[in-house]
Amino acid sequence: MRYPLSEHDYGAHPAVLPPDDPTRHDGDAVPLPVRLDLYRKMQEMRLFEKRAYDLFMRQLVKGTSHLSLGMEAIAAGFGAALRADDLTFATYRGHAHTLARGVPMTPVLAELLGRSNGLMGGKGGSMHLTSVEHGVLGSYAIIGAHLTIANGAAWSAQYRGSGQVTVCFFGDGTTNIGAFHEALNYAAVFQLPVVFVCENNLYMEYTPIADITAVPRPAADRSSAYGLDPVAIDGNDADEVYLTATTAVQRARAGGGPSLIEAVTYRHGGHSRADPGKYRPADEVEAWKRYDPITVYRGRLQRLGIDQASMDRIDKEVAAEVDRATEEAIAGDLPSPATALTELWADGGSSWHN
């Protein structure tokens, strides 16, 4: 028998540090327009979520909120690798993945604020962002479930011959629930056009993943059980993510079946709400904040000859967009009371007897 917390105090586990060379991917074959787009997208996610956090602290965003500050390279890299009609499934930590598909900021923010101009009229909230017209087939808040649902979307695409690829994002902690294993076997058996992306931010809620997982790499070390190649990448380098995503998505589209990708990353903040994340070693937090995906990318663009001023201009444009979205979201009406009873059934209502 082994008890992790008899081997180390809570929060005093060994730090896991990021890669130390941010220039590794400077020479990768990513076209400059894609790179500029990746930069802008990450900045949109960053500034949007910072604003969401402010609004949460002002108690305008109610309930809960799970930010992916520090994890933007994964959402941006995959977003850029997808076709407009591809399908994505995210978790409660899904703001960035929703923006990555081109969903405008205003309805997303308004949904967080519980307004009628929210993406789902206020009925879903921050954990269930969905925009079918953008291929965002939902954000799911019960660990593991959406991996199985993503399989269904992939199966349907294969059956209909649409050529769509499904991408499903989830956390490291999710690799320990049964649905993960059911879904991977299922996808492998039927060779579904689906890409599973484990965003390994080293923690499930408040417990380090290494303390409660049988293998060091929660996703990559499980892949062989499903006949898949182990793929573990730097999830803070948008180019590495983008190139990995492009390969996996092309493979799926060409009939090559599923992939499982573990993208190692880190969240700057806590798990949710106002959690300060104090259960993490200070040197670990510091190192990952330095290895921030946006800082890494800015450095790269600079080395590739993009001047500071044009990047500052992007930042400014994005900031203005966030301000505008904030105003529009706050100006939104509360949902009309009647909507509490609509859209249970396909006929739009919720009646259960005649």
Ligand X SMILES: Cc1ncc(C[n+]2csc(CCOP(=O)(O)OP(=O)(O)O)c2C)c(N)n1
Positions in the binding site for Mg ion (CB under 5 A):
171-173, 201, 203
Interface with another protein (CB under 8 A), residue from 24, 40, 50, 123 = 123
For another protein, the closer of residues 50 and 181 by Cβ is 181
Q: Which two tokens stand for residue 320?
A: 């203005």
* Residue-wise burial string across 65-88, b where 16 or more C-beta atoms lie within 10 A, e elsewhere: bbbbbbbbbbbbbbbbbbeeebbb
Q: How far apart are alpha carbons 310 and 55 in whole angstroms?
A: 29
Determine, following the binding rule CB under 6 A, whether residue 258 of this chain makes contact with ligand X: no
Per-residue CA distances from 55 to 5, 49, 110, 305, 330 (Å): 36, 10, 11, 36, 10
Count of residues engaged in binding ligand X, rule: CB under 6 A: 15
Q: Which two tokens stand for residue 155?
A: 């199966």
Determine, following the binding rule CB under 6 A, whether residue 201 of this chain makes contact with ligand X: yes
Contact, 140 vs 107, CB < 8 A? Answer: no
Residues 6+ apart with CB under 8 A from 346: none
Count of residues engaged in binding another protein, rule: CB under 8 A: 51
Report 164-183 residues binding ligand X (CB under 6 A).
170-174
Residue 187 backbone dihedrals phi, psi, to 5 degrees: -65, -40
Query: Binding pattern to ligand X, positions 118-157, x when CB under 6 A?
Result: -----------------------xxx--------------
Which amino acid, residue 134?
A: H
Determine, following the binding rule CB under 8 A, whether residue 346 of this chain makes contact with another protein: yes
Interface with another protein (CB under 8 A), residue from 108, 113, 153, 311 = 153
**Binding residues for another protein, per CB under 8 A?**
87, 120-121, 123-124, 128, 130-132, 137-138, 140, 142, 144-157, 159-160, 166, 178-179, 182-183, 185-186, 189-190, 339, 342-348, 350-354
* Binding interface with ligand X (CB under 6 A): 93, 141-143, 170-174, 199, 201, 203-205, 271
